[in-house]
Amino acid sequence: MRALHFAAAFATAALIVSCQTPETAHRDKIRGARIKCDKRDGAACLAAGNLLAVDGPNADALKAWTKGCALRHAGSCDALWMVKGPLREQALVDGCNAGDLLSCVRRAGAFPTDGQGLGQARALRQKACTTAKDLQAGTPARDVQAAGEGCASLAKMVAEGKGGGRDDTAALKLEVLAMTLRAEALYRYARDEDAAPDTMIPPDPPPVEKKGRGGRRVAAAPAPTVSAEERAKERSELETTRFVRDAWITFVQSGIATSQREALRGDPSMPTPSAVEQVSATLSSAAPSKCQQCVDGCGDIGRCAGDEFAGGRCGHLRCPGGGACPPFDSCVVECTAKAETCVKACGDCAADPNMKAVK
């Protein structure tokens, strides 16, 4: 009798599955992803939004992505940023309100170009830039990227006097800080990617069955299995996150290359170099000058905007043994200030054949 009941139940289940249409299967996937999203699974929120947006972005998809973004799931936040059409502004607002700093920086770029809009954009970018003073060794790369992009955008506004006063010196310092933060973000992204396990690689085969004491066989451990649905969800998440991140990396690298080419050509559109830039451009690689040596704690002047700060090494250079490191951005600002003071106060620059006098 029990076998008969089991056979009937199995036949009923098979009939239900065979009668399932693509529409009902799609609804079931959405319902399953939403349940996991409500349980604070950020990747499931991204999957739910993607399923809901099959025919284009809509309010339900934005709601799912916003939930994931509030859980600090980068893929969900990036999905909001990639929304096009009439819902784009709402998507940017939702991402920023969810607490994602990078979404706030992106939101600043969508403000109107009138006086009020520029003021709001400048304030939002300044808020993102000032978070650099709170950076620590464990700060996520995405937050470092947001601070760097905020400082870079703010530097342009300050240099042009948009949304507030104009200050060339402050703009220069912001540019140096932005470049440093971008380099730090690239370093942390690479470090995190190297440390992350590649779950897309099939697991190792289970151990071979062995015989225990007395000739008894010891069962091999079951091989871990990953469902096709989980693999598809993970692949979608990786593709979304990597696409946005790779686009940003390409943008940063192309910007650096363009600046270098324009500087070498003497492009008149480039801003007049500051005293620090003039001196660092004429430094000799043969031997350090006295002007170089007077920049205490950071080495030569060129390092203030160079690779010595990548990976947080600036703080490590200035950390006492066993003591606490200074805030990351204060090290950069302090080094730049020392370099400027050195250039103005160093009296032997004119006598040094490797240096040019800076008035």
Do 170 and 296 lie in a common domain? no
Do 165 and 73 lie in a common domain? yes
In a domain, 54, yes or no: yes
For the ranges 17-31, 65-79, 174-188, 262-276, the lowest mean pLDDT is seen at 262-276
Report the CATH number that the domain containing residue 53 is assigned in CATH: 1.25.40.10
pLDDT-derived band at 289 (thresholds 50, 70, 90) equals very low
Nearest residue to 220 via CA among 211, 212, 202, 208: 208
Do 305 and 339 lie in a common domain? yes
Do 257 and 307 lie in a common domain? no
Centre a 10 Å sphere on the Cβ of residue 26 and count the other Cβ atoms it contains.
13
pLDDT tops 60 at residue 229: yes
pLDDT tops 60 at residue 115: yes
pLDDT, residue 67, reads 94
pLDDT tops 70 at residue 105: yes
Do 98 and 240 lie in a common domain? yes
pLDDT tops 80 at residue 231: no
Residue range of the domain that includes 64: 32-196+230-265
pLDDT tops 70 at residue 314: no
In a domain, 352, yes or no: no
In a domain, 248, yes or no: yes
Tokens representing 112 are 């109107």
In a domain, 221, yes or no: no
Do 36 and 178 lie in a common domain? yes
Mean pLDDT of 230-234: 61
pLDDT tops 50 at residue 352: no
pLDDT tops 80 at residue 110: yes
What is the three-class DSSP state of 218? strand
Tell me the C-alpha distance between 23 and 32, whole Å: 14
Do 185 and 290 lie in a common domain? no
Mean pLDDT of 76-83: 92
In a domain, 21, yes or no: no
pLDDT tops 80 at residue 303: no
Do 169 and 318 lie in a common domain? no
Do 171 and 288 lie in a common domain? no
In a domain, 40, yes or no: yes
Cβ-contact 155, 178 below 8 angstroms: yes
Do 247 and 285 lie in a common domain? no
Phi, psi of 144 (to 5 degrees): -65, -40
Give the torsion sign (CA, 223, 227, 232, 234).
negative
pLDDT tops 50 at residue 39: yes
- For Cα atoms 204, 234, 23, give the angle at the middle one, nearest 5 degrees: 120
Tokens representing 254 are 């192309």
Tell me the C-alpha distance between 39 and 25, whole Å: 22
In a domain, 164, yes or no: yes
Residue where a domain stops, chosen among 265, 288, 310: 265
Do 99 and 184 lie in a common domain? yes
pLDDT-derived band at 350 (thresholds 50, 70, 90) equals very low
In a domain, 14, yes or no: no
pLDDT tens-digit map of 151-182: 999 999 999 999 988 998 889 989 989 998 99
Q: Note the pTM of the prediction, 2 decimals.
A: 0.54
Q: What percent of the chain has pLDDT over 70?
A: 49
pLDDT, residue 285, reads 37
Tally of structural domains, the chain: 2
Q: Compute the mean pLDDT over every residue in the chain, rounded to the nearest whole number.
A: 71
Residue where a domain stops, chosen among 265, 291, 325: 265
pLDDT, residue 78, reads 92
Phi, psi of 322 (to 5 degrees): 75, 0
Do 280 and 252 lie in a common domain? no
pLDDT-derived band at 194 (thresholds 50, 70, 90) equals confident
Q: What percent of the chain has pLDDT over 90?
A: 29
